[in-house]
Amino acid sequence: MNKKLKPLLSALLLAAGAPALAGTVTVITSFPKELTQAYKSAFEQAHPDIKLEILNKNTVSGIAYVRETEAGKRPEVFWASAPDAFEVLAQAKLLEKAGDIANPDVPDKIGNFPINDPGGMFMGQALAGYGIMYNTRLIKAKKLAAPASWTDLLKPEWYGNVGITSPSRSGTMHLTVETILQGEGWDQGWNTLLRMAGNSAAVTDRSFGVPDGVNNGQFGAGPVIDFFGLSSKYSKFPVEFVYPEETAIVPANIALIAGAKNTEEGKKFIAYTLSKEGQELLLRPEISRLPVLPYKNLSNVPQGYPDPDEIAKRSKVQFDVDLSQSRYYIVQSLFDQTITFRFADLQQATKAIHDAQAKLGAQPGAKAGELLAEARKLAWTPLLDVKQAQSPELLAIFKGNKKDADISQKLSRLQGDWNSQAKANYEKAQALAKEAASL
């Protein structure tokens, strides 16, 4: 707005009995419209002088948007489920402390995990767990047992009945992937991810695609952040949600972006989301998130609602956000080159292995057994072991400036090699499984 016109407009608004606008707060977030619209309406009612603008992007795109926007023109608030994404922004000095606006009733930790960043750069606004959402009607019709663990989705009968998305398209999927990798270890974790992907019907474009597909019966089940499953369940869709033992309860965070235009107004929005009123919005059926405020401080907790403290106590995963942040782009790239971009090849290899197992039974002959074991190894073993994934040389490439020609060339060459190797592995795995079946 023209600086000369702004005071005149404010005067006209005051004369008309309307409050003067203090400014616009732009919030960049990956959250669904049901949540963001509820906060927009409630916040603007509580602060009629401030307009809230929602800029919806997946977490990875949101980070890129903040990185690429010059100081003075950036959004005020970053709001997402993935704590490692906030670590990435903080390391790039793209966040600033919001000051003393934290709610004193919020506990310090959930399990062993700090709810607020110890450095004060971001705060927990909700809690999030990761698990399996499934369609009760579809699994009954197909005579599938209700899944309770990640390994349930790897069984041959689940082939073609799972939906997933990619961690490069979804911050919540990135957290799910990391939860599995940290809970099961690098090699076994990738084995689980590759087999789950091999059993999948599709890799969706956004994290919303998985719960939408489970809701409408396109998928029988899929890995999702808890609020997708809970909001559908409490909105009367024929779905259930379960937390496996390998889950993590971590904060969904909110932070003030450095170099924004209306910083003071941005602080007011953050403070509102942490207030009792802002926390109670999370418990609406269409939102169904876990608040950071203890239930004793809230008046509208549904009967039987998940208790984050209980889930954290029984979880086998002590989530390491520093480890997740350090390999953030490596995990995304490895997933995309070996799963997202080679999805059809992985599907075909997985089906050939399932078919061979079904034909050969529990005691295949020695030769067939060897061929099938080699097929499984080729299809379901990560291209990198944990030492290679943590090598300083590899970390330097992925942390380097992508605009640097040398870094860009190395990255392209590396990703091309992974893609080619995955294709070759899946094709060989399929051929070996078919050969085993023929014996």
**For residue 20, is pLDDT > 80?**
no
**For residue 18, is pLDDT > 50?**
no
**Which residues, other chains included, contact 161 with Cβ-Cβ below 8 Å and sequence gap of 6+?**
138, 142, 144, 199, 201, 219, 220, 221
Asked whether this chain's domains 18-127+251-314 and 130-247 adopt the same fold, the reply is: yes
The terminus-to-terminus CA distance of the chain in angstroms comes to 76
**For residue 96, is pLDDT > 80?**
yes
Question: pLDDT tens digits, residue range 270-322?
Answer: 999 999 999 999 999 999 999 999 999 999 898 889 999 999 888 888 888 88
The pLDDT confidence band at residue 154, using thresholds 50, 70 and 90, is very high
Rounded distance between C-alpha atoms, residue 283 and residue 234, angstroms? 10
Give strand pairing partners of 260: 74
Going along 346-421, which residue ranges are E strands? none
Which class is 130-247 in CATH?
Answer: alpha beta
Average pLDDT, the chain: 91
User: Comparing 147 with 312, which gets the higher pLDDT?
Assistant: 147
The pLDDT assigned to 354 comes to: 98
**What architecture (CATH level 2) is domain 18-127+251-314?**
3-Layer(aba) Sandwich (3.40)
Question: pLDDT tens digits, residue range 389-410?
Answer: 999 999 999 988 777 888 889 9
**Annotated domain spans of the chain:** 18-127+251-314, 130-247, 327-439
**Which residues, other chains included, contact 438 with Cβ-Cβ below 8 Å and sequence gap of 6+?**
none
Rounded distance between C-alpha atoms, residue 431 and residue 407, angstroms? 36
Question: pLDDT tens digits, residue range 326-358?
Answer: 999 999 999 999 999 999 999 999 999 999 999
The pLDDT assigned to 17 comes to: 43
